[in-house]
Amino acid sequence: MKIGFIGLGNMGAPMATNLAKAGHEVTGFDVAGTTAEGVAQAATAEAAVQGADVVITMLPNGDILRKVAGQIIPAMTAGATLVDCSTVDVESARAVAQQAEAAGLKSVDAPVSGGIGGAAAGTLTFMAGGSADAFAAAEPLFEIMGQKAVHCGAAGAGQAAKICNNMILGVTMIATCEAFALADKLGLDRQKMFDVVSTSSGYSWTMNAYCPAPGVGPQSPADNGYQPGFAAELMLKDLGLSQQAAEAADADTPMGQQALALYRTFVEDEDGRGRDFSAMLPRFEGRGRS
């Protein structure tokens, strides 16, 4: 396929590279001027999408997505497919889908899970919203960039799934870090703690696959000084989206609300910015009961 790719950041660049390595003709654009291996560079976003069968966007937020969509949709070929892999609010995803469909385009909102490592390795999970035809058009590319793609429903359903998933992730990471900090104060060895919890009812992805305690469990950012695999400020963004959605849907999410407050304090008032979201563990280690 001929593919336009808008947004060649930490996630977008390796995704675009994997598409190029698979033999697709990929033309990219990023406002920062960043490039990706095997990807031709366009001077503008509009130039990157001209004549493309599929256009993929990976952008920071809903406002930027709406702005970019306004630029590229008029430049796209009728019948082409717009695939947005950004994590944005549901309302922005649905607005862009409506705009694309009004222009005779197929549209998929397909945020991802798996982080920078998953983008580089081609092992991302895609949560997709849109029509069955649009999903079918994008699915061969999902298979290159990831290991799994789930068609979650109509426009906006992909973003809804991502927001709910990451609310669970944020809440669970906080609980895991709290438990390790408590275990320390109770004199329980961290490895013993892991051995019990990882095979008991406390089992979770944050414990078993992404343990926040250095030297315990599989390799994780905790073993690299909490250099981010998934930055705390990105978790703060996603928890903010979850609470924005909860307010719009009149949903009671007290744990999600508390997780947002804790990550906001961690990122904005403490030393969380630029660290992995699992660095909540050293935060709790140094704190007493208030």
**205: how many CB neighbours lie within 10 A of its CB?**
13
pLDDT higher than 90, residue 229 = no
pLDDT more than 90, % of the chain: 97
pLDDT higher than 80, residue 290 = no
Domain with CATH 1.10.1040.10 in the chain: 160-286
**Catalytic site residues?**
162
Q: Band of the pLDDT at 289, cuts 50, 70, 90?
A: confident
User: Rounded to an integer, what distance in angstroms lies between the CA atom of residue 237 and that of residue 232?
Assistant: 9
User: Rounded to an integer, what distance in angstroms lies between the CA atom of residue 79 and that of residue 232?
Assistant: 39
Give the class (CATH, top level) of 2-153.
alpha beta
Q: Band of the pLDDT at 159, cuts 50, 70, 90?
A: very high
Query: In CATH, what is the architecture of 160-286?
Result: Orthogonal Bundle (1.10)
**33: how many CB neighbours lie within 10 A of its CB?**
8
Domain with CATH 3.40.50.720 in the chain: 2-153
Q: Band of the pLDDT at 217, cuts 50, 70, 90?
A: very high
Give per-residue pLDDT as tens, 182-200: 999 999 999 999 999 999 9
Angle at the Cα of 160 from the Cα atoms of 24 and 105, rounded to 5 degrees = 45
How are beta strands 25-29 and 2-6 bridged, if at all? Answer: parallel
How are beta strands 112-113 and 106-109 bridged, if at all? Answer: unpaired
Q: What is the pTM of this model?
A: 0.90
